[in-house]
Amino acid sequence: MIPLRVKYLAPTIPETVSKKSKTVPIAASFDSIGTCHYKISVKVPAERVAQEYEHAIRAATRNVKIPGFRPGKAPMEMLRGMVGDGLQAEASEHLLEHVVPEALVETKLEVLRLMDFDATKHDIPEGQDYSFDFEVETAPDIELPEWSEINIEAMPTDPSDEQIEETLKAIGRDHPRFEEKEGASLDSDTLADSDIQFFMNGDEGPEAKDLKLALGSPLYGSNPETYDEKMTGAKPGDKLELDVEFNEGFEKSEWVGEKGTVKVTVKRIVTPRHANVEELIQDLQIESEEKLREMVSGRIGMENEANERRRQVEEALASILSLKPFDLPNRLIDEEAEHAEKGAVERIQKGGKSEEEAKKEAEGQRPAIRENSKKNLQMYFLLRRIAASAQLSVNKKDMDQAYREIGMQNGTDVKTTKAFYQERGLESQLKGDILEGKARNFVAIQLAAQNAPAPEVEASSAAE
């Protein structure tokens, strides 16, 4: 799923609003003015305004040293004079920093973001009540059905004969055999079994034996067109020489950035084929064809079960959306669709088209992109609602496990992987991915419980 760029405000009550403090409370109410769109009305008593003015003054003069007074103990009037003409602006900003989050908490709305709120437009006078409104966009209000209402029929996961044969063919592709083709030369259907060695200014460099060279797959550092031109028609015994450039990552680091040659000695022309069952038994050191098929069947069975589990979860989520539909704000959908369309343009350009051509093609896909963006957003919020209802969360152990798995996939340790995510601000996205995974697993467990066969009851027990 495309990660949302909308970030939760996660409002928290500042320390000055704790139950133990003597901070004067505010009053906050809200009215719906659209889909996931609310107007919050706030009333700040004059006593609270006075408190925030005092807090602002002390914050502004915290590091000021006044002869004869300990830090923070100077009279308020003396400190007030030191703030000067900027007091009202400082106090207004200070008040809003405290009051807006407090209002969000009081309304108990699941707020995504403030809507075009400009704190600089508020000049809050001292000594009187202050009222103001602001608008917020919230997460959708999602009602979940009872799990008994979700009926997903389980499909069989037993491996089919066709699956077993296809898998055996795939394993055979991974264990190729090369048969020499007498009197042949290199073409698109054959490979050149060759030895190669790199040179620079007469000095010998790295070499490799028994490489299977193919047209269309140029040697490292060589020009693709020149490679195909010289290699086409190559026969056993031919010795070819190609110009190459030693780029970053070359085995001999001191040669990087220089130019040289690679000498190719063609030993034979071969035709590749897949290993047959008998050859696989030998390669994999398995007792018999029966054991091989048993192993393949077991692997396919696990894959089928995992795929069936995913299918059931996706159908269950779609069923929930059908039973309990919810709306999203158009603004949120538009932003997600705009982001997705930019990504589509980039992908199309990578396919070789110009920016203008890519934009035109993406524009033609706009309705589909918007609909897909809406579905992605609905799934994003639905999974988080399920996670909340099941009291699922992501802890440090979950994050560390994810870093270990990612590190293993990329050949890095946990510390390096974690630093990469932290430096690029990707931790919250990873945390969201983990939470989604937990929510999907929870759905799978609910479905499995429904599909589980009823326990058998002994005849004697039933009679009783």
CATH number for the domain that contains residue 92: 3.30.70.1050
Q: Which residues contact 272 (CB under 8 A, 6 or more apart)?
A: 176, 177, 178, 191, 212
Q: Does 444 reside within a domain?
A: yes
The answer to whether residue 328 is domain-embedded is: no
Structure letter (DSSP) for residue 221? T
* Residue 78 shares a structural domain with residue 191: no
Strand order in the sheet with 130-138: 27-34, 37-44, 130-138, 111-115
Closest CA to 140 of 315, 377, 436, 320: 377
Instruction: Give the containing element (helix H, strand E) for 187.
Output: none
Please report which residue ranges of 73-197 form alpha helices under DSSP H: 76-83, 87-107, 161-174
In a domain, 424, yes or no: yes
Is 244 a member of any domain? yes
Q: Is 203 helix (H, G, I), strand (E, B) or coil?
A: strand
Same domain, 192 and 90: no
Number of domains in the chain: 3
Rounded to an integer, what distance in angstroms lies between the CA atom of residue 100 and that of residue 163? 60
Is residue 362 within 8 A of residue 348, CB to CB? The reply is yes
Same structural domain, 185 and 132:
no
Residue 132 shares a structural domain with residue 194: no
Region for 391 from its dihedrals, namely left if φ exceeds 0, alpha if ψ lies in -120 to 50, beta otherwise = left
167 lies in a domain? no
Any domain includes 320: no
Does residue 88 contact residue 126 with C-beta atoms inside 8 Å? yes
| CATH code for the domain of 225 | 3.10.50.40
Residues 185 and 237 both lie in one domain: yes
Domain assignment of residue 163, yes or no: no
For every one of its 464 residues, what pLDDT tens digit does the chain have, with 9 covering 90 and above?
A: 333 333 334 343 344 444 445 789 999 999 999 999 999 999 999 999 988 887 777 766 565 666 656 665 655 555 555 555 567 777 788 899 999 999 999 999 999 999 988 888 888 888 899 999 999 999 999 999 999 999 999 999 999 999 999 999 999 999 999 999 999 999 999 999 999 999 999 999 999 999 999 999 999 899 999 999 999 999 999 999 999 999 988 999 999 999 999 999 999 999 999 999 999 999 999 999 999 999 999 999 999 999 999 999 999 999 999 999 999 988 999 999 999 999 999 999 988 899 999 999 999 999 999 999 999 999 999 999 999 999 999 999 999 999 999 999 998 999 999 999 999 999 999 999 999 999 999 999 999 988 766 556 554 444 44
- Cβ atoms of 105 and 42 closer than 8 Å: no
pLDDT at residue 71, rounded to an integer: 60
Tokens of 291: 């054991």
Rounded Cα gap, residues 436 and 18, in angstroms = 33
Residues 245 and 181 in one domain: yes
Domain end among 220, 240, 273: 273
The pLDDT score that the predictor gives to residue 16 is 40
Domain end position, chosen among 239, 255, 273: 273
CB 400 within 8 A of CB 25: no
Q: What angle do CA 15, 21, 25 make, to 5 degrees?
A: 90
The residue from 117, 138, 159 where one domain ends is 138
pLDDT at 89: 79
Would 239 be classed as within a structural domain? yes
Residue pair 45/24 in contact (Cβ under 8 Å)? The answer is: yes
Contacts of 384 (CB under 8 A, 6+ apart): 139, 435, 436, 439
Domain that holds residue 183: 177-273
Provide the residue count of the chain: 464
Same domain for 183 and 98: no
Q: Are residues 48 and 134 in the same domain?
A: yes
Residues 6+ apart with CB under 8 A from 120: 93
* 201 and 265 together in one domain: yes
Q: Which string of b and e fits 299-323 if b means at least 16 CB within 10 Å?
A: ebeeebeeeebeebbeebbeebeee
Instruction: Tell me the two tokens of residue 107.
Output: 């309304």
